[in-house]
Amino acid sequence: MSPLRRFVLVAVAILVVLVSAVAIWFATTPGPLAFAGGKKVALDAFTGAEPTGVPNDLLQASVEKRGEYLTRAADCLVCHTAPGGKQYAGGFAFKLPFGTLYSTNITPDKETGIGAYSDADFLNAMHRGVRRDGALLYPAMPFTSYTYVTDEDALAIKAYLFSLPPVKATPPANTLVFPFNQRWAMGVWSSFFNEGTRFEPVADKSPEWNRGAYLAEALAHCGECHTPRNLAFALDNRKKFAGALSAGWYAYNITSDKGTGVGDWRDDELFAYLATGHAAGRGTASGPMGEAVDHSLSKLAESDVRAMVTYLRSVPAESSRDLPPRVAVAAPASHKEGGGSGNLRGKRIFAGACASCHDWSGVSPITELATLTGARAVNDPGASNVVQVVLTGMQRPPGLVSMPSFGSIYSDAEIADLANYVTSRFGSKGSTLSEKDVAKLRKETAQ
Amino acid sequence: MATLKINGESKVFEATEDTPLLWVLRDVLGLTGTKFGCGIAQCGACTVHVDGKPVRSCLLPVGGIGDRAITTIEGIGATPAGASVQKAWLDLEVIQCGYCQSGQIMAAAALLAATPHPDDADIDAAMAGNICRCGTYVRIRDAIKRAAAARAA
C-alpha cells in the first residue's frame, strides 16, 4: 500500500468513526422525561386523575373553551403574534445566528392562515412539524414538545383557533442562509430529535407529578428556552433545564440545584413566580418569561400551576458553572459602600435614573416588584437580562408599576457601565460587559 | 375607602389600590404642592417622604403604603431638616421657575436627615434623580451645604 493510499484510508476511517460517534451521541439524546425513570404506561392504563386535558371545572365546557385553555397553556399567542400585530396572525421574528425566521399566521384564514387545515393536517404540524403543503417546519415551532400533546387536546386547540376571526396576513419571508434554508434537511433533524410519540405517564409517579410533566413538557414547552441546545440546535436533555441563552435573554437554571437553580426556593415561591411572575426576594419575571407568565401561566388553574411546581421539584440538580452559587444580600444603604465604586459613569447613571426606584440598597421603596436584591438577573456575571431590561424597560404585569425603557437614551457604552455597576453592587459577581456586548444584545432582541 | 397618614393627619379617601399616591395627593386631597413632572420616576418633581425616605409618588401605588407615614412639601417645614432646608433655599434664592423645587427640597431634606454633613459625592448620589430645567443645581448644592452648616451650629 502506498503511503498516500494508507493516509487516505486512515483519514476516512477516522472520519467515519467521528461521524458515527456524533450520530450515536445525537441518536441517544434522552427525551425530556428520561430523567424520571419508572415505568411508562399508556394513558388509558394510568390509574388516578387524568394527566392530560383540562382542569376539572372545564371538563364539561365546549371544545372551543377547552381549546382556549389548552392554547393558553401551550402559549401559542406570543410567538404567533408580531409586536403590535393582530393576535395569532404571525410575523413574529426569530433572530437566529444564520438568519431570521418569521412565525406563521394560525388564524383560520383559508389562504394565508390555517383555515384549510384538516384535523390530520393540524396534527401533522403539531406532532411532526409538517405543514399542510408538505414542507417541513423549523423547530422554532416547538413540535418536539407538542408531539406529546394528545390528539384530543391538539384538536381542541384547533377548534379554538378556528373559532377566532380569520385574518388575512402573510408573514415576511424567512432570511435563512444556505444550508439552513433547506427545509428538507429538517426531516433528518426530526428523525434524530423528535420522539414523535404522545405523552405517556409514569406509573409510579403521582397524578399531580404526571399532570405537571404533561403541562411543562407537552404544552408549556419550558425546555425550549431553559434547556441548553446541542450542536444541532436540539434540546440537550443531558442538561435538562440547566439554563440557556437564546435571543438575547438568559433563561436561567430551573433544576433543583440549590446554588444556581431553584432548589432552595420554597414551593410557594415557585408557585407565586409562575402564577404572577414574581416572588418576594426572588426578582420579577421580564422578557420572554414575563410574556409566558402574562399570556399563559397566569391564566392556568391553581391546581395546574401547583402540579408544575411538583414536577419541577423532581428535575435533577445540574449546576451552572457560569453563575455564582449564591445570590447577594441587600447592598449597603450608603452609596459610598458596596461594590462597583470604581465605576464612576455606571454609578452616575444609576444615581440619576435608577436609585429613586431601586434604592442604593436594591430594596425598592416603591414596590417589591422593583426590588433587585435576590434576583438572579443581577447575580449573573453575564448581565444579559439586566441589559435587556434597561434597554426595553418593563411594562408588566399589565396595569401595575412599569419601568421606562432606556435603550434610546443611553449609548451602548453607558449601558455596559450601568450593567457592570448594577451587577457589582447588587450581585455576588459583577459583570465586565463592553460596548460591543451591549450592541450585540441590542441587536438580538430588536424586532 | 382607604386611610393614609399624611403630614401627621389621618386622611380618608376613595381610590383604587393601584392609584399612584401623587394622584391622590393632588386630585383627591388637594395637596398640590407636590408636582407632576414625567410620571415615570425620572425627574423627581413628585418626591415625597415615606417614613422619612424620599420616594417618587408618581409610581407609588397607594395600596402598598399601609401605615407608613407620608410627608409632603406642605408638611416638611415641621421637621428640623426640612425647616433648615427651606430657610437656606430662601436665603440663597435657589428657586427660579420653581416647578421642580418641592421635589428638590424633599430630596435635600431626606439627605440631611440621613446624612447631616453631606460631601459633594453624597449630594450627587441623593440629588441626581431630581432634574431642574432652569439649572439651579449650583445654588441647590450651596443651599444644602448652608442648611447642613446651620444645623450643626
Q: Which domains does chain B have, with CATH numbers?
A: 2-71 (3.10.20.30), 77-152 (1.10.150.120)
Contact A366 B41 (CB under 8 A): yes
Mean pLDDT of A384-389: 98
Query: Vertex A150, ends A145 and A153: CA angle to 5°?
Result: 100
Distance from the Cα of A334 to chain B's closest Cα (Å) equals 9
Q: What is the mean pLDDT of chain A?
A: 95
A363 has pLDDT over 90 = yes
- Please tell me if residue A355 touches chain B, with a CB cutoff of 8 Å: yes
Contact A366 B55 (CB under 8 A): yes
Report the distance separating Cα B152 and Cα B150, nearest Å.
Answer: 5
In this complex, how many residue pairs, one in chain A and one in chain B, have their CB atoms less than 8 Å apart? 55
- Please tell me if residue B78 touches chain A, with a CB cutoff of 8 Å: no
Residue of chain A with shortest Cα separation from B44: A356
Instruction: Work out the pLDDT band at A301, boundaries 50, 70, 90.
Output: very high
Most B CBs within 10 Å, among A356, A396, A410, to test the B interface: A356
Render pLDDT for B21-68 as a digit per residue (tens, 0 to 9). 999 999 999 999 999 999 999 999 999 999 999 999 999 999 989 999
Distance from the Cα of A297 to chain B's closest Cα (Å) equals 22
Measure Cα distances from A120 to A116, A125, A191, A199, B62 in Å. 11, 9, 20, 18, 54
Contact A336 B121 (CB under 8 A): yes
Nearest-CB residue to B59 (from A348, A368, A401): A401
Report which of residues A447 and A308 the model is more confident about.
A308
The two most distant CA atoms of chain A are separated, in Å, by 81
Residue B113: its pLDDT value, please? 97
Q: Compute CA A330 distance to the chain's CA centroid, rounded to the nearest angstrom.
A: 28
Residue A4: its pLDDT value, please? 87
Mean pLDDT of A285-301: 96
Question: What whole-number percentage of chain A has pLDDT above 70?
Answer: 100
Residue A245: its pLDDT value, please? 94
Render pLDDT for B103-127 as a digit per residue (tens, 0 to 9). 999 999 999 999 999 999 999 999 9
Residue B48: its pLDDT value, please? 98
Instruction: Work out the pLDDT band at B153, boundaries 50, 70, 90.
Output: confident
Residue B62: its pLDDT value, please? 95
- Please tell me if residue B53 touches chain A, with a CB cutoff of 8 Å: yes
Render pLDDT for A157-197 as a digit per residue (tens, 0 to 9). 999 999 999 999 999 999 999 988 999 888 888 988 998 89
Question: Could you say which DSSP state residue A373 is in?
Answer: T
Nearest-CB residue to B129 (from A352, A399, A404): A352
Residue of chain B with shortest Cα separation from A403: B40
Residues 6+ away with beta carbon under 8 Å from A126 = A143, A146, A147, A149, A154, A157
- Please tell me if residue A345 touches chain B, with a CB cutoff of 8 Å: no
**β partners of residue B69:** B5
Contacts of A335 in chain B (CB under 8 A): 121-122, 125
Q: Cis omega before residue B116 (within 30°)?
A: no
Secondary structure of residue A229 in the 3-state scheme: strand
A98 has pLDDT over 90 = no
Instruction: Work out the pLDDT band at A396, boundaries 50, 70, 90.
Output: confident
Render pLDDT for A201-221 as a digit per residue (tens, 0 to 9). 999 999 999 999 999 999 999
Measure Cα distances from A3 to A9, A10, A14, B91 in Å. 10, 10, 16, 98
Q: What is the mean pLDDT of chain B?
A: 96
Residue A97: its pLDDT value, please? 83
